[in-house]
Each structure stands twice: as structure tokens, then as C-alpha cells.
Structure 1
Amino acid sequence: MNPSQTDAYLRRIGAARPGRATADALRELHLCHLRTVPFENLSIHLGEEIVLEEKRLLDKVVEARRGGFCYELNGAFGALLASLGYEVVPLAGRVHGDEGRLGIPYDHMALRVRSVDGAEWLADVGFGAHSHYPLAFADRAEQADPGGVFRLAEAGPDADGVVDRDLDVVRDGRPQYRLETRPRALADFTAGAWWHSTSPRSHFTRSLVCSRITGDGGRVTLSGRTLTTTAADGTKEARELEADEEVLAVYRERFGIGLTTVPVVREGGRHG
């Protein structure tokens, strides 16, 4: 990213350029991103190609003022952080599913970020409802956050009894995803992005979601035609949107996304 691209990205998320790549600045950037760039999978159902290249990600997130899912959001955010002087390493994760099953390899992408004081942080602006602030990477104790109580726990041995260096990211006592500590590159996640955007087994192809944190620490989510507003205390209010014009207005006014047609889940869970 060149300086003008960095400035445009900062304007997109409503953040000032930090003087140094500090932990406090990282916290502010992380929260600003979650408040302004929605977690959404609309491209899958609009027939838009998902390309994990820096320019394409910046074109979508900054120029088109769209959101995306983990590979896109953390890929773009990682480029911004690197341009501001942070050391950034993509990490691969596998999401914990039902009955303890783990998702596919490269199921999720998060970021290991080093600030100028040498401290390392787990930054993740691409997991939907998650921590509002980066988590201290080396800390194995509970970490309180507006999004819940988090812990990075060393994963136990696998089914073959092999012990590795993976970490379970735990929220409110429930494992969210298992994170590798081996450095990866953005291009490594191409197969995972393809699977999630095409496979009938992916929850992204079977549903529509657009969600972001609100200024008061709550969350607003549009799932298909269901608009759910969650207050900071966890209280939820949901209502169905009937008219297409109302759906498009919510995308525009609550998420900053201008659409001409209402996205719908394609037959069979795949776009045509």
C-alpha cells in the first residue's frame, strides 16, 4: 500500500493515522474496523468473484465500501497494519463445529501482529461476533473484552496423540477456532476461500449475513430479511423486512452498502 491508499483506508474506517505502531493504536484501529466494515458474504450470492490479492481486497473494502468474510477482512486489515509499521503474519485456523468437529484446513484466517514495544497480539476483524479488541497473544489467562471473556489455550493432543503448538481461541468457555502458529501467506487461503464460496456444505453458501458492531458496543445484523439489533447487554430485537425497498435501505443506511437488487441465496447453495 502506498501512503494515499493508507490514508483512504483510514478515512474508510474513520480512524486517524497513528504516529507509531503502538498497542493502543492497534486497539483503536481494530475497533474502528469492526464498527465500519461489515462482516458479510454477499459476494457469494451476487455472483462476484472473491480474489485474495491485495489490490482486489482494497478495491472492495476501501473503494467500493463493502465488507467481506475472514480472508478478505483480515487480508485487507493486515495490509493496512503493515503499511503503518506493524509486523503482520497471517495465521490459519479451523473453526470448532458441532460435536467438537474442526472445519477444513485454512477454514479461517487471523493475524498475529507485533507492535513497536515487541508485544504480540491476535487481531481478528473477520470472525463475526468476536472480540472487539486484539487479544494478547502470549497471555494464557482470561482476557475480558466487550465481546466476552476470551482465552488463548494450548490445544491438547490430536486423535493420534500428537501434541502440537496450536491454540484454541475460547470465548465465554466455548472454543471458537483452533489456530496454527505457523506463519502463512494470503495466497495460502485461496483454496479455503474457494470452498467456502462454492461448496454446498459451507454455511456461507447456504445463508446470507451482513453484520457489524454498533457505536454503543452492540451489534446490528441482517440475515436474509431478518434484521436483528443486539444491545451491549445482549438484549436482542428481531423483525422481518417485507418490502425489497426496506431491505435495500437497511443495507444502505445501516451498513453503507449500496445495492440495486436484494441478494438471495442461490438454489442449491451456489451462485449461478
Structure 2
Amino acid sequence: MESLGTARTDAYLRRLGVVRPGRSSEGALRELQLRHLRAVPFENLAVHLGEELALTADAAYDKIVSGGRGGICYELNAGFAALLSSLGHRVELLQARVYGKDGALGIPYDHLALRVDGRWLADVGFGDHSSYPLDLEASGGQEDPGGVFLLRPADGGDGDLDVLRDGVPVYRLETRPRVLADFRAGAWWHRTSAESGFTRGPVCSRLTADGGRITLRDHTLVTTSADGDRTEKELAADEEVRAVYRAEFGIVLDRLPVPLHPRD
């Protein structure tokens, strides 16, 4: 992953509200992932606004930092990878297939995650997931504000890893490094297919400073506390929706996203 350069790295860190770390370290990586999850929302608004999804590090930077937006996994983890590389971390892109509710695996290149410094699984592009990087060398459960995570060898003995959260498989991670261009087919499928969850309605979500989560799904505002209490509020007026985008996610829209393939 190419370096961002000093000026753009500093701008990215300002977007996260982080002071440039003195050196690359596990502690710095943990802080950067947490701050990214709090500051930069997971959002698929581009799908429903008819915007292009360009899979380059420059495009990810422009959207996240210059545009004050978020994105889906391909954009968020591409941007985070470029930032980490610029700060001295060794970063590899990994492809994963997400487990559905029925236990079936999704398409190849379903998800993009990062292996950092040969040991850490970093991921700022999966929405509600681990707050901190996961240790790829740990054999047991790893406690995290997001739950207890376990990485175990997948069936088949080919080196893939299943990532489980609270005992439930989340995604299957292939450990072979990839390049960003490899994910173009997966990104195209997610932004066009009626079978993709991303095309069924707009969603924007981020981790809150108190460990909870705030999510806007179309006109429904969902607030979840750190201890799991959940409240929902229906926003009747379009201006209410735009106000939530501005206040909670820092996103200013002149028009609201329209579901590409509405839910039944």
C-alpha cells in the first residue's frame, strides 16, 4: 500500500482526532482502530445516491478525509491500510467471505480486512465488530468490548481462518495477501445485486464514545448502549433524517439516498 505523504497523513489523523504516534506499536494500532470506528461511519449511501465506488487508496482518502464521509469495507479498510502504512506499519489486504444468517458463506471477496505487522487482524469496515485488532496468533477467545472473538482454522486445512464472535461464525478469512484491484468484482456485486444487503436500503453506523452504537437505516434511528439497551425512533420528515446525518455522522446531504432494491 502506497504512503499518503506527510500532509495527507496528518489530515487523516485530524479526521480521527488523533495525535501522530511517535512510532508504530500495538498500542498505537489499537488506538487508531478505535478512533476510526468512532469517527468514520460504515455507510453505503453511495449505492443509493448513484455515486461511483472507485477502488483506489486515493479515492478512499478523498472520500473519508476530504469528503468527510465513510464507506463500506473496501473503502474504509483501504483508507485505513494507507494510513497505517504511512505510519510505519506493514499492512496486507486479505479477502474474506461473510457467513449469512443461514450459515452459508457469501461470495469470494465479500469483505476486505487487514493483516498488520504480520500478527494483527485489523478491521474498520465491518460495522458492529471488534473495537480493537485481534491477535492472529492467539489460540483462545479474545475479550473485546464488541464480544468474545475466536480465530480458528477453517475446515479443509488450507490455512483459512474462521472468525467467530460470541461463538457465532462471522467471516472466513483467507490468509493469502491480495491487492486492492482483486476486490473489484466483489464491490461491483455488492453495489448492484438485488441479493446484496447493501442495495436494499441506506445504512449509516458508527461506534459511540461510550461504547454504544448509533445507526440510521433509511428513516429509522437506532441507538444501542454499551450494555445492549436498544431504542428505535422513526423519523417522519426528510429534514429530520438530514439533520441526523449532519449531527451524528458529520455528513451533509442535499438529497436523501433512495433504496436501489427496496426491502420487501
**Bucket of the pairwise TM-score, normalised by the shorter protein:** over 0.9
Please list, as runs of the form range in 1=range in 2, the aligned pairs for 1:73-84 lying within 5 A after superposition: 73-84=76-87
Letter in 2 for 1:194: W
In the alignment, the residues of structure 2 paired with residue 266 and residue 178 of structure 1 have an alpha-carbon distance, to the nearest angstrom, of 28
Letter in 2 for 1:46: L
Give the equivalent residue in structure 1 for 2:193: 199
In the alignment, the residues of structure 2 paired with residue 91 and residue 125 of structure 1 have an alpha-carbon distance, to the nearest angstrom, of 13
Give the equivalent residue in structure 2 for 1:3: 6
Partner-residue secondary structure (3-state), 2:82: helix
Give the equivalent residue in structure 2 for 1:262: 256
In the alignment, the residues of structure 2 paired with residue 155 and residue 249 of structure 1 have an alpha-carbon distance, to the nearest angstrom, of 44
In the alignment, the residues of structure 1 paired with residue 101 and residue 134 of structure 2 have an alpha-carbon distance, to the nearest angstrom, of 25
- Aligned residues: percent identity? 61
Please list, as runs of the form range in 1=range in 2, the aligned pairs for 1:11-50 lying within 5 A after superposition: 11-50=14-53
1:98 equivalenced with 2:92 (yes/no): no
Give the equivalent residue in structure 2 for 1:148: 147
Partner-residue secondary structure (3-state), 1:168: strand
In the alignment, the residues of structure 2 paired with residue 14 and residue 223 of structure 1 have an alpha-carbon distance, to the nearest angstrom, of 26
Partner-residue secondary structure (3-state), 1:21: coil
In the alignment, the residues of structure 1 paired with residue 261 and residue 169 of structure 2 have an alpha-carbon distance, to the nearest angstrom, of 32
1:182-239 Cα shifts (integer Å, max 9, x gaps): 0011111011101100111111011211000001000000001000000000000101
Instruction: Report the CA distance between 1:266 and its aligned residue.
Output: 2.6
Instruction: Report the CA distance between 1:99 and its aligned residue.
Output: 2.7
Q: 1:87 aligns with which of 81, 86, 90?
A: 90
Root mean square deviation of aligned Cα: 1.0
Give the equivalent residue in structure 1 for 2:131: 132
CA contact (8 A) 2:194 2:261 kept: no
In the alignment, the residues of structure 2 paired with residue 197 and residue 142 of structure 1 have an alpha-carbon distance, to the nearest angstrom, of 34
In the alignment, the residues of structure 1 paired with residue 84 and residue 261 of structure 2 have an alpha-carbon distance, to the nearest angstrom, of 39
TM-score normalised by L of structure 1? 0.94
1:34-53 Cα shifts (integer Å, max 9, x gaps): 00000000000000000011
Structure 2 residues not aligned, in runs of 5+: none
Letter in 2 for 1:144: E
Partner-residue secondary structure (3-state), 1:248: helix
Partner-residue secondary structure (3-state), 2:13: helix
In the alignment, the residues of structure 2 paired with residue 208 and residue 57 of structure 1 have an alpha-carbon distance, to the nearest angstrom, of 19
Letter in 2 for 1:196: H
**Larger deviation: 37-46 or 98-107?**
98-107
CA contact (8 A) 2:127 2:205 kept: yes
1:47-80 Cα shifts (integer Å, max 9, x gaps): 0000011111111000001000100000000000
In the alignment, the residues of structure 2 paired with residue 267 and residue 255 of structure 1 have an alpha-carbon distance, to the nearest angstrom, of 24
In the alignment, the residues of structure 2 paired with residue 204 and residue 99 of structure 1 have an alpha-carbon distance, to the nearest angstrom, of 18
CA contact (8 A) 2:153 2:160 kept: yes
In the alignment, the residues of structure 2 paired with residue 216 and residue 256 of structure 1 have an alpha-carbon distance, to the nearest angstrom, of 18
Please list, as runs of the form range in 1=range in 2, the aligned pairs for 1:112-261 lying within 5 A after superposition: 112-114=115-117, 120-157=119-156, 163-261=157-255
Runs of at least 4 residues of structure 1 off by over 6 A? none
Partner-residue secondary structure (3-state), 2:102: helix
Partner-residue secondary structure (3-state), 1:238: strand
Letter in 1 for 2:113: A
Partner-residue secondary structure (3-state), 1:100: coil
CA contact (8 A) 2:199 2:261 kept: no
Structure 1 residues not aligned, in runs of 5+: 158-162
In the alignment, the residues of structure 2 paired with residue 151 and residue 200 of structure 1 have an alpha-carbon distance, to the nearest angstrom, of 32
Partner-residue secondary structure (3-state), 1:99: coil
How many corresponding residue pairs? 260
Q: 1:123 to 1:267 in 2, by over 3 A?
A: closer
Q: 1:49 to 1:229 in 2, by over 3 A?
A: same
1:96-117 Cα shifts (integer Å, max 9, x gaps): 0133210000000000001xxx
Partner-residue secondary structure (3-state), 2:205: strand
